[in-house]
């Protein structure tokens, strides 16, 4: 009768993989998204596999890259000195305080929300997603193709460079209607856009809205969002130049 019929807390990655091999089971990271979604689901029989015991909640540096464990809380990422100002800022913007203390890096990436400023920040920081089987994929590919049922164990980023966000929303802390997030390094500038496609997308800074067909909703029409993409990209490029 209930939509969540079992709770599992594996103690090893192998155990987690084994549990998730069964159909009808989903990963539980922080729970901010899946708990309300599963509880309101009309179908029966969801089992949740909680990854909290897998020790995936650390941040480490290696070979110039920063590895964010999948279970790192956004609240921790918001204050982590090694992650850089932009990632700190975007982690704070992603959710209000109490939710931020629960939500995780892996859960955020798995959600693939087109409005996620943190995903956009990870994208321009050259994020690679690491899976339980040792595979790694560029974040852009994971956003396009999904995780394929694999467990995200970490997201690695290049923390260097100068970053900025420029956004338009109804209020200062509102989920942006469109946001442009940029990071500039010696190798060039990368720009990612939220709210302008079915996922967060990295765009050509010279032609940011080329090929974009944003969805319309009550917060902004497609045409308006296209205008915002061009305007905000110009501004964010200026901010990081």
Partner 1 sequence: MEISVLLNGTQTTTSVEPHETLLIVLRRLGLVSVRFGSDTGETGSSAVLVDGRLVNTDVMLAAQVDGHEVTTVEAFNAAELDPIQTSFMVTGAIQSGYSTPAMILGTRALIDRNPNPSEADVRDMLSGILDRETGHVKPVEALTRAAAVMRGDQTEPFEPVILEPMTNGSTPVDVDPSDQPPDVSAAVPRIVPSPDVPEMSVVGKPEIKVDAVKLVKGNAAFVDDFEDRNLLTAKVLRSPHAHANILDIDDSKARALPGVHAVLHYKNTPRVKYASGGQSYPNPHPHDQVSFDDKVRHVGDRVAAVAAETAEIAEEAIRLIEVTYEPLPAIFDERDAMLPNAPVIHDEPDTEEIFDRERNIVHHIGANRGDVDRAMAGADHVFEHTFRVHQVQPTPIEPHISVAWLDADERMVVRTATQVPFHTRRMLAPLIGRAVKDVRIIKPRIGGGFGAKQEMLIEDIAAHLAIATRRPVKLELTREEEFVSSRTRHPQTLTFKTGVDSDGMLVAQDLYVIGNTGPYGSHAYTVQTVTGLRGLSSYNCPNKRFNCDVVYTNIPVAGAYRGYGAPQAEFALEAHMEDIAHQLGLDPIDFKRRNWVKLGDELDIAPHLGERAVAEDELDEYPRVTSCGVEECMAQASRAIHWHRHADPEWRQPADRPNIRRGIGFAFCMHGTAIPFLDMGGCSMKLNDDGSFNMLIGATDLGTGADTVIGQIAAEVLGVKLDDIKVYSSDTDITPFDTGAYASSTTYISGTAAKVAAEAIRARIKERAAKMLGIDEPCTIELRDNKAWAADGRSVSLEDIALDSLHLEDQEQIMGTGSYVSPDCPPPFAAQFAEIEVDIETGQVTVVKLVMAVDCGVAINPMTASGQVEGGMTQALGYAHCEEYAFDDEGRMVNAELGPYKIYRADEMPDLEVYLVQTMEDSGPFGAKAVAEIPKDGVAPAIRNAILNATGVAINDLPFTPERVWQALRADS
Answer yes or no: are the C-beta atoms of 121 and 162 closer than 8 Å: no
Residues 6+ apart with CB under 8 A from 36: none
Return the residue of 102, 162, 185, 189 that touches partner 1, per CB under 8 A.
102
CA distance 194 to 62: 29
Range 63-92, binding partner 1 (CB under 8 A):
73, 75, 92
Reading phi first (left if > 0) and then psi (alpha if -120 to 50, else beta), residue 112 is in left
How many residues sit close enough to partner 1 to count as binding (CB under 8 A)?
50
Sole window of 13-21, 80-88, 165-173, 198-206 interacting with partner 1 (rule: CB under 8 A)? 165-173
Residue from 159, 12, 176, 173 nearest 87 by CA: 159
2 binds partner 1 (CB under 8 A): yes
Q: Is 173 in the site for partner 1 (CB under 8 A)?
A: yes
Of the residues 20, 48, 77, 139, which one makes contact with partner 1 according to CB under 8 A: 48
Q: Tell which residue, 114, 129, 125, 140, has the closest CA to residue 202.
A: 140
Binding site for partner 1 (CB under 8 A): 1-7, 9, 28, 31-32, 35-36, 38-40, 42, 47-48, 50, 52, 73, 75, 92, 96-102, 168-175, 177, 217-221, 224, 227-228, 231-232
């Amino acid at each position: 009768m209930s939509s969540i019929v079992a709770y599992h807390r594996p103690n090893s990655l192998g155990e987690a993989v084994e549990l998730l091999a069964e159909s009808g089971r989903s990963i539980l990271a922080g729970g901010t998204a899946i708990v309300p979604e599963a509880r309101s689901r009309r179908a029966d029989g969801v089992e949740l596999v909680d990854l909290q015991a897998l020790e995936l909640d650390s941040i480490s540096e290696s070979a110039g890259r920063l590895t964010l464990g999948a279970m790192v809380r956004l609240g921790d990422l918001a204050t982590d000195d090694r992650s850089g100002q932009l990632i700190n800022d975007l982690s704070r913007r992603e959710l209000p305080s109490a939710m931020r203390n629960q939500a995780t890096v892996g859960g955020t990436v798995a959600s693939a929300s087109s409005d996620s400023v943190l995903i956009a920040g990870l994208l321009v920081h050259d994020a690679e997603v690491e899976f339980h089987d040792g595979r790694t994929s560029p974040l852009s590919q994971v956003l396009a193709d999904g995780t394929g049922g694999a467990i995200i164990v970490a997201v690695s980023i290049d923390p260097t460079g100068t970053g900025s966000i420029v956004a338009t929303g109804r209020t200062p802390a509102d989920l942006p209607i469109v946001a442009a997030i940029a990071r500039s390094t010696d190798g060039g500038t990368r720009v990612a856009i939220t709210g302008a496609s079915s996922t967060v997308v990295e765009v050509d800074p010279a032609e940011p809205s080329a090929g974009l067909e944003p969805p319309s909703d009550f917060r902004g029409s497609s045409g308006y969002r296209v205008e915002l993409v061009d305007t905000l990209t110009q501004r964010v490029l200026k901010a990081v130049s």
